[in-house]
Amino acid sequence: MLYVTRNGVKKLKLNMTKDGTYKLPSYIFNCPTLTHLKLFNCNFKLPNSFLGLQTLTVLQLEKLTFVPAIEFYTINVPLLVKLTIDLCDGTQYLNIVFSSELKSLVVHESHYNLDLSNNFFKKCKKMSDLYLVIDNPIPADNRLTLEKLLFSSPTLETLCLGKFELEVRI
Count the residues in the chain. 170
pLDDT at residue 36 in the model: 96
In angstroms, the CA 76 to CA 164 distance is: 27
Residues of the chain with pLDDT under 50: none
Tens digit of each residue's pLDDT (9 = 90 or more) over 95-129:
777 778 899 988 887 666 665 555 666 677 888 99
41 in Cβ contact with 15 (< 8 Å): yes
In angstroms, the CA 147 to CA 54 distance is: 34
Helix (H) or strand (E) holding 127: none
Domains annotated for the chain, with CATH where assigned, are 2-162 (3.80.10)
152 in Cβ contact with 122 (< 8 Å): yes
Helix (H) or strand (E) holding 162: strand 158-162
Which SS3 state, helix, strand or coil, does residue 61 take? strand
Q: What angle do CA 115, 164, 97 make, to 5 degrees?
A: 20
In angstroms, the CA 34 to CA 101 distance is: 17
